[in-house]
Amino acid sequence: MLNINKHSSNDTKIQIETKDLSLYYGQDKVIKNISFNIYERMVTALIGPSGCGKSSYLRCLNRMNDFIQEARTEGEITINGSNIYDKATDVIELRRKIGMVFQKPNPFPMSIYENVAYAPRLFGVKDREKLDEIVKSSLEGAALWDEVYGKLKTPGTGLSGGQQQRLCIARAIATEPDILLMDEPTSALDPLSTLRIEELIRELKKKFTVVIVTHNMQQAARISDYTAFFLLGDLVEYNVTNKMFTSPDDRRTEDYITGRFG
CA dihedral 221, 165, 210, 81 (to 10 degrees): -160
Q: Are 74 and 21 in contact (CB under 8 A)?
A: yes
Q: Are 62 and 100 in contact (CB under 8 A)?
A: yes
> Domain locations in the chain?
40-52+89-229+237-257
Q: Are 85 and 77 in contact (CB under 8 A)?
A: yes
Span 78-136, pLDDT tens digits: 999 999 999 999 999 999 999 999 999 999 999 999 999 999 999 999 999 999 999 99
- Measured CA to CA, the distance from residue 21 to residue 208 in angstroms comes to 24
Task: Identify which of 61, 128, 138, 130 has the alpha carbon closest to the alpha carbon of residue 94.
Answer: 61
Span 41-69, pLDDT tens digits: 999 999 999 999 999 999 999 999 999 99
Q: Are 143 and 196 in contact (CB under 8 A)?
A: yes
pTM of the model: 0.94
* Superfamily for domain range 40-52+89-229+237-257: P-loop containing nucleotide triphosphate hydrolases (3.40.50.300)
Task: Identify which of 196, 213, 204, 195 has the alpha carbon closest to the alpha carbon of residue 44.
Answer: 213
Q: What is the DSSP letter of 107?
A: -
Q: What is residue 261's predicted lDDT score, i.e. its pLDDT?
A: 75
pLDDT confidence tier of residue 12, bands split at 50, 70 and 90: confident
